[in-house]
Amino acid sequence: MNALLTVERLDVRHGLLPAVREVSLEIGDGETFALVGANGAGKTTLLRAIAGAHPPTAGRIVFGGKDVTRLPAHRRVKLGIALVPEGRRLFPNLTVEENLRVAGAARRTGAWTVDAVLDVFPLLQPLRRRPARTLSGGEQQATAIGRALMTNPRLLLLDEVSLGLAPVVVDGVYRAVSTLAESGTTIVLVEQDVSRALGVANRLACMLEGRVVLEGAPRELTREQVAEAYFGLRRRGATA
């Protein structure tokens, strides 16, 4: 599988505090890749660095064969990188359809239109003229993903799509994510819920204290290995 995204020895800081440390990853074209880990592991910071929302202090990001490390976020959108941020960040006074069309202004040429988005998220069809502020959490999350799709991305970055949602709503969101993956969309998914991530990902990486401490295909990893990496149990055992 050809690499669409390559991250090489990336360091990212929050002020003086290291948040991502020497992370190297390769994401294949059409792959669904999950980043898991506890709060503060560096997952969101890594995703924001890939999207151009947080500048790295060292390392390199290559997308579609082009070095984008110093490219601003809006230029990365034009190349095909779309981020669905934690917290969704919709325009609250705009309708669902208006939120989608605003993103479409920066679109690349491609198949994603308002109607195509509503086909993937049919729950939004009767809500298309409702202001975003009146939507439930799940409806807002669907709108946020749809807004990113309107840019016709080659790479979709999803940050904590299940956060704060009821389990039945999360089921619906993940059905849509699976549909996108089956259509060939390349996805990098940040998730704290390991079971959800294992259910959709081709490969998974676990982050701890800013570093990737485990990586592999779900079928190659046991839940015990993932749990040890997630909580740092192996490291604690080694220093005991």
Tell me phi and psi for residue 4, to 5 degrees: -90, -35
Q: How far is CA 108 from CA 77, 111, 152, in A?
A: 8, 9, 6
Domain count across the chain = 1
User: What six digits make up the tokens of 233?
Assistant: 């149990």
| Tens of pLDDT, residues 113-135 | 999 999 999 999 999 999 999 99
Distance CA 10, CA 25 (A): 9
Q: How far is CA 232 from CA 18, 57, 116, 207, 211, in A?
A: 18, 25, 42, 9, 11
Q: Identify the band that residue 239 occupies on the pLDDT scale cut at 50, 70 and 90.
A: very low
Cβ proximity of 9 and 59 under 8 Å: yes
| Tens of pLDDT, residues 172-196 | 889 889 999 988 899 999 988 888 8
The mean pLDDT value for 157-168 works out to: 88
Distance CA 32, CA 182 (A): 9
What residues make up the domain containing 179? Answer: 3-239
Q: What is the CATH number of the domain that holds 207?
A: 3.40.50.300
The mean pLDDT value for 156-166 works out to: 89
The mean pLDDT value for 212-219 works out to: 95
Tell whether the model's pLDDT for residue 22 goes beyond 80. Answer: yes
Q: Identify the band that residue 19 occupies on the pLDDT scale cut at 50, 70 and 90.
A: very high
